[in-house]
A = this chain, B = another copy of it.
Amino acid sequence: MRLYNMKAATNPRRVRIFLAEKGVEIPMVDIDIMSGENRSDAYLAINPRGTLPALELDDGTVIDESVAICRYIEALHPEPPLFGTGALGQAQVEQWQRRVELDGFFNVAGIFRNIAPQFATRAAPGAAPDTKQIPELAERSRALLPRFFSIVDAQLAEHEFIAGETYSIADITLFCTIGFARWVKIGIPDDCRNLNRWNEAMLTRPSAKA
């Protein structure tokens, strides 16, 4: 098994933190998105979508979505459970995972992909056709983030972790979203004291360095 990875990229980081929390090590192969190596023939032969990360199994099967890779690892290494336990617990992890992705992560990506000079003609991820940036979309994404911060801060006022009282993959997605937001010079608002408290706690976990 090996993981196609890029150290600086957010989606691979989600998987690396997940692995660190599980105590699982997988050999990694670095691919550079910035220079477009993820669109090279060599990488597209492995993952035709051209996205990172991708997990290659020993029989050549490739799993190419971060959350799908994490589910595979969860099934092989159930402890500690990071997708929730029980019907409601699993639903709440899924719910917060998606809220954080849709309202947070995708808006940060919507800013970054539409302003970063490296992606001037690659605003859509992976091996999608050449796509021009839309500055107005970056602005829209930026305008939607305060509401996201406010929603997660309110949840963290009542709960230790984002999906409740147990650390989960939704915390990983939130932590990586906060890190990614710094790329576009957006920090946690000062008045989001619960989110700031939570982020400080996340930074002390050994997995934060993964």
Quick check: B137 and A95 within 8 Å, CB to CB?
A: no
Q: Which of A78-110 contact B (CB under 8 A)?
A: 86-88, 90-92, 94-95, 98-99, 103
A124-B49 Cα distance, complex, nearest whole Å? 27
Quick check: A68 and B86 within 8 Å, CB to CB?
A: no
Quick check: A94 and B71 within 8 Å, CB to CB?
A: yes
Cβ 8 A contact of A134, one of B71, B131, B136: B136
| Interface status of A147 (Cβ within 8 A of chain B) | yes
Quick check: A128 and B144 within 8 Å, CB to CB?
A: yes
User: Which residues from chain B contact A143 at a C-beta distance below 8 Å?
Assistant: 129, 131
Chosen A-B contacts, 5 in total, with CB atoms closer than 8 Å, are A72-B88, A75-B87, A75-B91, A131-B143, A134-B134
Give the distance to chain B from A55, nearest Cβ to Cβ, in Å.
8
| Interface status of A56 (Cβ within 8 A of chain B) | no
| Interface status of A61 (Cβ within 8 A of chain B) | yes
| Interface status of A64 (Cβ within 8 A of chain B) | yes
Which residue of chain B has its CB nearest to the CB of A55?
Answer: B91
Quick check: B140 and A134 within 8 Å, CB to CB?
A: yes
User: Which residues from chain B contact A210 at a C-beta distance below 8 Å?
Assistant: none
| Interface status of A42 (Cβ within 8 A of chain B) | no
User: Which residues from chain B contact A90 at a C-beta distance below 8 Å?
Assistant: 71-72, 75
A151-B98 Cα distance, complex, nearest whole Å? 24
A126-B136 Cα distance, complex, nearest whole Å? 20
Known: A64-B95, A75-B90. 4 other contacts (CB 8 A): A48-B151, A49-B151, A71-B90, A71-B91
